[in-house]
Amino acid sequence: MRIEQIKAFLTVAETKNFQQAARDCNVTQSTISRQIQALEAELGTVLLYRNTKVKLTVAGELFLLHARKIDREWNAAKSGILELISGKQQELCVTVIGSICSTYLPPVLSKFIQDYPNVKLRVTSIGSDRALKVLRDGLVDIAIVMASSLFKPSSEIVVDFLYQEPIVVLLSPNHPLADYTSIPIPELIQYPQLIFKEGYGMQNLVREAFDRWGAQLNAVLELNSIDAFHGAIAQSNNWLALLPQSATLNSETNSNLIVRNISPSAPIRKIVLVTTQDRLNLPPIQHFRQLVLELIKPEIDLVAK
Flag whether the pTM goes above 0.85: no
Report residue 305's pLDDT band, with 50, 70 and 90 as the boundaries: very low
Residue 257 amino acid letter: L
The pLDDT tens digits of the residues spanning 166-177 come to: 999 999 999 999
Cβ count near 296 (within 10 Å): 18
The answer to whether 229 and 197 have CB atoms below 8 angstroms apart is no
- Comparing C-alpha atoms, which of 97, 92, 145, 111 is closest to residue 285? 92
Burial profile 10-47: b = 16 or more Cβ within 10 angstroms, e = fewer: bbbbebebbebbbebbebeeeebbebbeebbeeeeeeb
The whole-number pLDDT of residue 297 equals 74
The pLDDT tens digits of the residues spanning 233-287 come to: 999 999 999 999 988 877 777 889 999 999 998 999 999 999 999 888 888 999 9
Task: Please give the angle made by the CA atoms of 105, 111 and 114, to the nearest 5 degrees.
Answer: 140
Distance of CA 122 to the CA centre of its chain: 10
Distance CA 36, CA 12 (A): 9
Four-CA torsion 161, 162, 166, 171, nearest 10 degrees:
-130
Domains and CATH numbers, the chain: 3-85 (1.10.10.10), 91-163+271-295 (3.40.190.10), 164-268 (3.40.190.10)
DSSP code at position 304: P
DSSP code at position 26: T
The whole-number pLDDT of residue 19 equals 86
Report residue 291's pLDDT band, with 50, 70 and 90 as the boundaries: very high
The pLDDT tens digits of the residues spanning 67-117 come to: 899 888 887 777 666 666 665 667 899 999 887 887 789 999 999 999 999
The whole-number pLDDT of residue 274 equals 94
Distance CA 72, CA 25 (A): 17
pLDDT above 90: percentage of residues in the chain: 46
The whole-number pLDDT of residue 299 equals 53
The whole-number pLDDT of residue 83 equals 62
Residue 90 amino acid letter: Q
